[in-house]
Amino acid sequence: MHCRACLALGFLEQRGVLTHPVRPRRYRRRTQRTERPLTTADTDDTLAYYTRPGPFTDAGSHLEALRALPSDIPDLLDSLHGLLIHEHLTWAYGVDHRPDHNETSNLRAIGDVIGRLLADGRPLTDRREPAERVAGTCRDFTVFAVAALRAHGISARARCGFGAYFGVPTNEDHWVAEYWNADESRWILTDAQVDQRQRELFGIDLDVTDVPRDQFIVAGLAWRRCRAGEDDANRYGLKMTEEFGDWWIAANLIRDAAAVSNMEMLPWDVWGAIPEPEDVIDADLTALLDKLAGLTADPETAADARTLYRKDDRLHVPATVRNANRGHDEPVFLRG
């Protein structure tokens, strides 16, 4: 977390913020490798891909405990609200912020989060008091929901973008889950973080089990809108730090590409082509992001971004990334 974010913690304690701000590091240019892209012609294969756990949604030995959670979306979200607490909204639930809250917010793998919860000897179906919940961010609520849905055989994935429903005039850095509704044959966005308390805090009145796509704007759509002159990139970022711009959209677009490739990184993980606020995004990177946004903006083609992600070192998550929250490089698969 950079210095301006540290100075803003007082604001966090009063109002709450969805994620930590990130000041990314510069990237090294690497040779791009290309491959014929995946297609969505075989929908069954795509849906099957999103029912299989990835490195961070694999519950491991806790799979049966995870399967005990309901598969019905409203009931699942209610269960998650009794297991997790947002690291910077603890005050809203009468809980003082503790050092371990930040520690658990840096856990990438859902198996580690579940392990912390099960350590008290109770099943995941038992609602915890706010002080007993594991702390995380919107990303952690999202990954937990995705892991639970996949455990029930439901196709689901994490999406990184911006929420337009948090009581500020800007579109705020945020993560939600996206699952396949077989009855309606469509991908649906669902916000696993927002409970009744947060509805009151932020004045939210939309259906969080089916978030409209003009209210949660996936990063690719945000990029395309701003590139077309339909929106202003300076409306996308984080109000708390007054940091906005195309660099933030670009960063979330790269994180979203990783997420739809089953690599749901921490909101402050930095790697590859993620730019810094002062960087000018050059023509080469712009072309890559245009292509990436053209795929990820539409839920029907988002899975096709997997080819770009796998084969371009500017996008692909390396073995070690910069954890901007902790201020150092660390292995991606560090377990806690």
Q: Facing residues of 189 across strands?
A: 178
Per domain, the residue ranges of the chain are: 3-25+39-331
- What are 58-67's pLDDT values in tens digits? 999 999 999 9
Taking the C-alpha atoms of residue 229 and residue 25, their distance in angstroms, rounded to an integer, is 27
Centroid of chain to Cα 15: 21
Please state the pTM of the whole predicted model: 0.89
Taking the C-alpha atoms of residue 150 and residue 93, their distance in angstroms, rounded to an integer, is 29
Q: Are 174 and 163 in contact (CB under 8 A)?
A: yes
Helix (H) or strand (E) holding 159: strand 156-163
User: Which pLDDT score, from 0 to 100, does residue 19 have?
Assistant: 38
Q: Are 135 and 92 in contact (CB under 8 A)?
A: no
Taking the C-alpha atoms of residue 328 and residue 256, their distance in angstroms, rounded to an integer, is 22
Give the mean pLDDT per block of 10 residues along the chain (336 residues): 31 38 34 38 83 98 98 99 98 97 98 98 99 99 99 99 96 98 98 98 98 99 98 94 95 99 98 93 97 98 97 97 96 87
- What are 97-128's pLDDT values in tens digits? 999 999 999 999 999 999 999 999 999 999 99
Matching residue, tokens 């978030």: 211
SS3 73: helix
User: Which pLDDT score, from 0 to 100, does residue 42 have?
Assistant: 55
